[in-house]
Structure 1
Amino acid sequence: MDTARTADTDTRDRTLRRWWLTRRLHIDLLRVCSAFGPHG
């Protein structure tokens, strides 16, 4: 059992998940702004 590698992978997965959530939220915000913004 390599505990260090497991912890490193877990941290990387958590960072990736947070990055993806932020990116998806940002894209959704852009879509909402363009839909309800002055552009119509």
Structure 2
Amino acid sequence: MMAAMMTVCNPGDKVIVFSPFYENYAADAILSGQSRYMYI
């Protein structure tokens, strides 16, 4: 999942995480350089 996040998103992009979600999705977003993420 981390490789997919780094491939699709550029640093500073916003990420939407749909609920219910796997708990590592938010951590993957932070580690791949996303500035913001939002749960829906």
TM-score normalized with structure 1 length: 0.28
TM-score normalized with structure 2 length: 0.28
Larger radius of gyration: 1
Q: Is the helix fraction higher in 1 or 2?
A: 1
| Greater relative CO (CA pairs within 8 A, separation 6+) | 2
